[in-house]
Amino acid sequence: MAHVHSKAPIGQLTNKSLLTLLPMALMLSLWNSPLLADDAEATKTAPPWDIGLTLGVVQSPFLGGKERLSLAPTRLKHSGLRLSGFAWPVYQQPTFTVYLGAGLDDWSHERDDSPQLADMNALDRAINVRAGIAAESKSLAGWISAELAQDLAGAHAGLQAKLRYTTSLGSAQHEVRPYVEAQWLSADLTDYYVGVDSTEVTSGRPQYQADAALALKTGVAYRHRLSEAFTFIGELNVTHYDEAISASPIVANELIWGATVGLTYRWK
């Protein structure tokens, strides 16, 4: 039987999250770098801040879902140790960073405003606590990052893990960064978004319980320095979800595309 989409009790959530919180507390005790510090901190040289905005669009995986638009602040880092979203380095060396962060799921808790799914149970927004490491690999001529995230808001209390490889082509003026990322999503997370409870069944929507799923994401990020102060940034990517997600009767697309464009300004 599919999971009921309801908020987990606080006591239960705390017990599920204990193993995640303990290593995070340990890493916090190692904090020796400021918020969003750059690798140049290793040389005690304050790097310039390239801050701006990005406009993003993502295709909806849901049946009848609309493309999702977003406007978000961004900051360019001057190394390959890319930390996505809100991330705080807690231990940093010239070639690797251990970090904590926070973020939202890649999935829409509103099912991308799909009119076909408007009669389904309402979902809460998941807020994730993230812990990970990003490191430079000389042998692979690129950077590897591994991250574990858990929902602590009580929406689904699920886990997700990501492993990414990124390389860099071009120069400081024109840089292209291809990447590939493997994702694992727990059954609690996938069933929360793509499962169909017995109370949500219709003639064209059978009951469905989703298992843990795998996804593969690949993309390319681009940056072009327009002047001393301004830099154009962009990204194109595509994500493929496995059968645990694509077999759901409320999922229309197993291959999802996304794109972002933005502009940053250098503050010295």
**Torsion angle of alpha carbons 250, 251, 252, 253, nearest 10°?**
170
Residue 4 lies in a domain: no
Residue 81 lies in a domain: yes
Residue 26 lies in a domain: yes
Please give the pLDDT value at position 94. 80
**pTM: predicted TM-score of the whole model, two decimal places:** 0.80
Angstrom distance (rounded) from CA 258 to CA 178: 14
How many independent structural domains does the chain possess?
Answer: 1
Residue 109 lies in a domain: yes
Please give the pLDDT value at position 182. 98
Q: CATH code at 161?
A: 2.40.160
Please give the pLDDT value at position 19. 46
| Per-run averaged pLDDT (10 residues), the chain, 268 residues | 45 43 41 36 59 94 96 73 72 87 93 96 95 87 93 95 93 89 98 97 96 98 92 96 98 97 90
Residue 98 lies in a domain: yes
- Rounded to the nearest 5°, which phi and psi values hold at 22? -60, -50
Residue 195 lies in a domain: yes
- In the DSSP assignment, the letter for residue 251 is B
Please give the pLDDT value at position 48. 74
SS3 of 113-141: the string is HCHHHCCCCCCCCCEEEEEEEEEEECCCC
Please give the pLDDT value at position 16. 45
Angstrom distance (rounded) from CA 158 to CA 16: 9
Please give the pLDDT value at position 81. 55
Residue 2 lies in a domain: no
Please give the pLDDT value at position 31. 36
Q: How many CB atoms sit inside 10 A of residue 45's CB?
A: 8
Please give the residue range of the domain that contains residue 122. 10-267
Q: Under a CB-based contact definition with an 8 Å cutoff, are residues 82 and 39 in contact?
A: no
Phi-psi region of 82 (alpha: psi -120 to 50; beta: other; left: phi over 0): beta
Residue 93 lies in a domain: yes
